[in-house]
Amino acid sequence: MPNLVGRRALVTGGAGGLGSVAVRTLLGMGADDVLVVGRDQAKLEAFQKTDPGRISIHAMDVADEAGWHQLRDRPIDVLIPAAGVAHREPFLDSTQEHWNEMLGTNIVGSMLAVQTLLPGMVDRGFGRIILISSVAAHIGLPGRAVYAATKAALEAWVRCVVAEVGGHDVLINCLAPGMFPTKMTTGWLAANPDVAEGIRSAIPEKRFGDPEELAAAFRFLVETTYAQGSVLHIDGGWGIV
């Protein structure tokens, strides 16, 4: 039975990658409207055509505070800030430009989304917020130092926010995926078959994740009434090795 009938959601980065899985999941749960936020207007418009009656779009940079001011009066019940940037490069070769891009999108973008929409959830007495962390926050992966730091920071930040706003049926949790083939990762995996096989062999389940397995995690974090400030690992056991 769909349980988001009459509810509205917002997903950043929802036109591609893991964000699109979140959008499809929310629509499948009966959400009346899912607002998809991203920077690429053409990409957003193409994605909206997949369900024009229930997908609305808004083009902006998630790290732009002024852009979020335009959305502060939206009655959003489920928020999934899924927009993310990842540069794969050795830390000693990385640049401040790349640091700022990852920090801005992965951390500041998520914080602005929550700061903008959380007050309305508290006032209405219902909300579900799902932050996107990563297995990278828990294991040492070469070439992922700054990206991993942004995801670990999100997990620490969520625990503090929960301590401030708990008790209003507003549940804030993190989802930490492992390796899921998406538009962002498929090309890289194909171009680096030896690395891909090394990752696969390091995962206790010996395979990459399926989008439906991630959808099940989104459904759980929307439906739960008691998970609060947690990190749900969907990584085939990769994060424990």
| pLDDT digits (tens), the chain, 241 positions | 358 999 999 999 999 889 999 999 999 999 999 999 999 999 999 999 999 999 999 999 999 999 999 999 999 999 999 999 999 999 999 999 999 999 999 999 999 999 999 999 999 999 999 999 999 999 999 999 999 999 999 999 999 999 999 889 999 999 999 998 877 677 778 888 888 898 999 999 999 999 889 999 999 999 999 999 999 999 999 988 6
pTM: 0.95
Q: Is 30 a domain residue?
A: yes
Q: Is 66 a domain residue?
A: yes
Q: Is 2 a domain residue?
A: no
CB 233 within 8 A of CB 239: yes
Q: Which residues contact 45 (CB under 8 A, 6 or more apart)?
A: 57
The pLDDT score that the predictor gives to residue 1 is 39
Instruction: Give the Cα separation of 241 and 234 in Å (integer).
Output: 14
Instruction: Give the Cα separation of 124 and 119 in Å (integer).
Output: 9
Q: What are phi and psi of 107, to 5 degrees?
A: -105, -60
Instruction: Give the Cα separation of 215 and 186 in Å (integer).
Output: 19
Instruction: Give the Cα separation of 144 and 91 in Å (integer).
Output: 8
Q: Is 169 a domain residue?
A: yes
Instruction: Give the Cα separation of 48 and 57 in Å (integer).
Output: 7
CB 174 within 8 A of CB 218: no
The pLDDT score that the predictor gives to residue 241 is 65
Q: Is 206 a domain residue?
A: yes
Structural domain total, the chain:
1
The pLDDT score that the predictor gives to residue 124 is 96
The pLDDT score that the predictor gives to residue 53 is 95
Whole-Å CA distances, 34 to 5, 99, 109, 235: 12, 30, 18, 26
Range of the domain at 36: 8-240
Q: Is 1 a domain residue?
A: no
Look up the CATH number of the domain holding residue 98. 3.40.50.720
Strands (E), the chain: 8-12, 33-38, 55-59, 78-81, 127-132, 170-177, 231-234
Structure tokens that stand for 105 in this block: 């999108």
Q: Is 104 a domain residue?
A: yes
The pLDDT score that the predictor gives to residue 93 is 97
DSSP-assigned letter for residue 143 = T
The pLDDT score that the predictor gives to residue 101 is 97
CB 130 within 8 A of CB 18: no
Indicate if the alpha-carbon torsion angle 107, 109, 111, 113 is positive or negative: negative
Kindly tell me the burial class for residue 170, based on how many C-beta atoms sit within 10 Å of its own C-beta (0-12, 13-18, 19 or more): buried
CB 119 within 8 A of CB 161: no
Q: Is 200 a domain residue?
A: yes
